[in-house]
């Protein structure tokens, strides 16, 4: 029997906010901004006002459990009901990982979904919050659509909502909110069943029982319940080896970013002489991953390349890949695999939405970004647990260590020594001035001899999508050297304070070269040149990056 929450539709007068322009992963601000009167309602109404044909249709809603997640869901449900949605699917307790939302939209043929997350950003009352809209294909809204949201938000004068009671998010089943059904669903079950169709759970279970040691850190984020169900219940990993598995609104006071800095405990475990065979982690909303073998950190770009080379060993990809895609800043390691296997390779701007058309059209099966995001055509988001399961399946099939697999890979394809240097929370105006000055001087760089080599080309990356014929410009500055090295500069859109300047550094070493260098030593000349070419110290006041990954 449905619980019925009687409610009246209200039209509330409001004033526009000037800062509701979504970035590459939606609208992200401090929690305190989202707590301001009308702020969230304005944005949600702006989204719905730019959509057509959703009357009576289904909306999926969920988030990573960070502070304000439950309150925001109640607001969204009331605005959705007042605007005419007929049904909402919500994860139990308001919990749904980002890839799980994508899968649920696709499986139930929903109209779209709203994801509440600021991904790897800190949580808590003083932390960050975020919201983004995903379309019927399960992927993030395109820039064309998010631009419409922003333009509407600048002139909005009213929004619709209900005056009814809140929905009980802790009770499975269907409740009636005004004229909309709200179904609270198990957030894990559908996703776990999908993973069983892609990977050989039997082989992984046997491998785990054989003595393979594995630890996973959920970082007190959304993947805790998923990890307990999949790794422990279905694959036999001891419960004690799934760490920090209870989602917390402040992520246990940590920073839910699965990199060697913020996931240092599990990284150090793997780097010890008697550490686990594989350590892994995922981020706040479950779409990023960390892969570390015993004394072998697998950089995200290398992980994408290794998966491309070995995906055929898994049931879901046994027939091979149709093509692969990577974001422009991601290293060219996967390019070498694609070339060797005769696969099409697509280079896109940063942001998973740019892979959407390629996945929908069947041009690619696999895609990834250097920022620890990897995924395939099973959903339209990057997927942290999927990447970990892919590695577990590959290890079970090859029966080699992570280090052995990577050395074998480099001996075939060569090695792309690669790092990303993040200068976080720099003055936004200064960061834009740096990029403008660098762009102005691009023409004079060609032919210049530097400590990292002779500059071959220098440009601003732009992307033409041949499928929807859209054009995206100003996606980062590329400096390419004659020896195959490159430096990329880009301002990130995932932070909430100031600007983050990201500098990507890459040097290719052929298969017959030195494949065992320390990355920092291999790219030392590129680091020095990157600072001097962009005058980073002068513009930002920073002599060193905050984070190196």
* Residues identified as active-site: 119
Task: Note whether 378 and 194 are within 8 A (CB).
Answer: yes
Bridge partners for 453 per DSSP: 450
Task: Note whether 246 and 224 are within 8 A (CB).
Answer: yes
Q: Is 69 helix (H, G, I), strand (E, B) or coil?
A: helix
Residues in the chain: 549
CA dihedral 532, 535, 538, 539 (to 10 degrees): -150
Rounded Cα distance, 413 and 428, in Å: 39
Rounded Cα distance, 375 and 201, in Å: 19
Q: What are 229's two structure tokens?
A: 């169900």
Rounded Cα distance, 434 and 232, in Å: 49
Three-state SS across 134-201?
A: ECCCCCECCHHHHHHHHHHHCCCCEEEEECCCCCCCCCCEEEEECCEEEEEECCCHHHHHHHHHHCCH
Q: Is 317 helix (H, G, I), strand (E, B) or coil?
A: helix
Task: Note whether 430 and 540 are within 8 A (CB).
Answer: yes
- The set of residues, in sequence order, having a beta carbon less than 8 Å from that of 257 and lying 6+ positions away, is 120, 121, 263, 283, 284, 288
* Residue of 185, 183, 182 lying closest to 164 (CA atoms): 182
Q: For residue 6, what are the CA distances in angstroms to 59, 65, 165, 171, 176?
A: 20, 27, 8, 18, 8
Q: Is 515 helix (H, G, I), strand (E, B) or coil?
A: coil
Rounded Cα distance, 38 and 23, in Å: 20
Q: Tell me how far apart the terminal alpha carbons of the chain are, to the nearest angstrom.
A: 52
The alpha carbon of 228 is separated from its chain's Cα centroid by a whole number of angstroms, namely 21
- The set of residues, in sequence order, having a beta carbon less than 8 Å from that of 404 and lying 6+ positions away, is none
Rounded Cα distance, 478 and 235, in Å: 44
User: 3-state DSSP helix/strand/coil percent for the chain, to nearest 5?
Assistant: 35, 25, 40
**Pairing, β 499-509 against β 486-492:** antiparallel
């Amino acid at each position: 029997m449905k619980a019925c929450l009687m409610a009246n539709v209200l039209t509330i007068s409001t004033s526009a906010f000037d800062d509701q322009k979504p970035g590459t992963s939606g609208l992200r601000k401090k929690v305190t901004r989202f707590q301001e009167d009308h702020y969230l309602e304005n944005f949600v109404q702006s989204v719905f006002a730019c959509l057509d044909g959703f009357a009576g249709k289904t909306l999926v809603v969920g988030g990573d459990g960070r502070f304000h997640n439950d309150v925001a869901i109640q607001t969204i449900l009331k605005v959705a009901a007042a605007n005419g949605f007929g049904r909402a699917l919500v994860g139990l307790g308001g919990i749904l990982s980002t890839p799980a939302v994508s899968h649920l939209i696709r499986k139930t043929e929903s109209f779209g979904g709203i994801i509440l997350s600021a991904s790897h950003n800190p949580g808590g009352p003083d932390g960050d919050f975020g919201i983004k809209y995903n379309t019927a294909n399960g992927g993030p809204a395109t820039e064309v659509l998010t631009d419409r949201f922003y333009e509407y938000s600048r002139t909005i004068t009213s929004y619709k909502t209900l005056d009814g009671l809140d929905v009980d998010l802790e009770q499975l089943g269907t409740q009636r909110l005004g004229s909309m059904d709200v179904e609270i669903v198990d957030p894990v079950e559908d996703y776990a069943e999908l993973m069983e169709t892609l990977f050989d759970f039997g082989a992984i279970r046997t491998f785990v029982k054989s003595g393979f040691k594995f630890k996973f850190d959920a970082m007190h984020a959304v993947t805790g319940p998923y990890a307990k169900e999949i790794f422990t219940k279905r694959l036999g990993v001891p419960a004690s080896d799934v760490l920090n598995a209870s989602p917390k609104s402040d992520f246990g006071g940590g920073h839910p970013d699965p990199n060697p800095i913020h996931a240092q405990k599990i990284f150090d475990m793997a780097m010890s002489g008697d550490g686990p065979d594989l350590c892994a982690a995922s981020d706040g909303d479950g779409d990023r991953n960390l892969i570390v073998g015993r004394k072998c950190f697998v950089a995200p770009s290398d992980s994408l390349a290794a998966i491309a080379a070995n995906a055929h060993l898994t049931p879901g990809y046994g027939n091979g890949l149709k093509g692969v895609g990577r974001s422009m800043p991601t290293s060219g390691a996967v390019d070498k695999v694609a070339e060797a296997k005769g696969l099409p390779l697509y280079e896109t701007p940063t942001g998973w939405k740019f892979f959407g058309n390629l996945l929908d059209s069947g041009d690619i099966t696999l895609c990834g970004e250097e920022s620890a995001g990897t995924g395939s055509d099973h959903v339209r988001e990057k997927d942290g647990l999927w990447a970990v399961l892919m590695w577990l399946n590959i290890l079970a099939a090859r029966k080699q260590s992570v280090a052995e697999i990577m050395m074998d890979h480099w001996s075939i394809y060569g090695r792309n020594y690669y790092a990303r240097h993040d200068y976080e929370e720099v003055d936004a105006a200064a960061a834009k001035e740096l990029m403008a000055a660098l762009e102005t001087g691009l023409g004079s760089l060609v032919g210049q001899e530097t400590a990292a080599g002779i500059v071959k080309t220098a440009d601003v990356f732009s992307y033409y999508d041949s499928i929807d014929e859209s054009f995206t410009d100003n996606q980062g500055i590329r400096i390419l050297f004659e020896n195959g090295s490159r430096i990329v500069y880009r301002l990130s859109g995932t932070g909430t304070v100031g600007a983050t300047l990201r500098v990507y550094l890459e040097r290719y070493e052929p298969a017959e070269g030195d494949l065992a260098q320390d990355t920092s030593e291999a790219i030392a000349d590129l680091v020095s040149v990157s600072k001097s070419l962009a005058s980073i110290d002068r513009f930002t006041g920073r002599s060193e990056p905050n984070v190196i990954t």
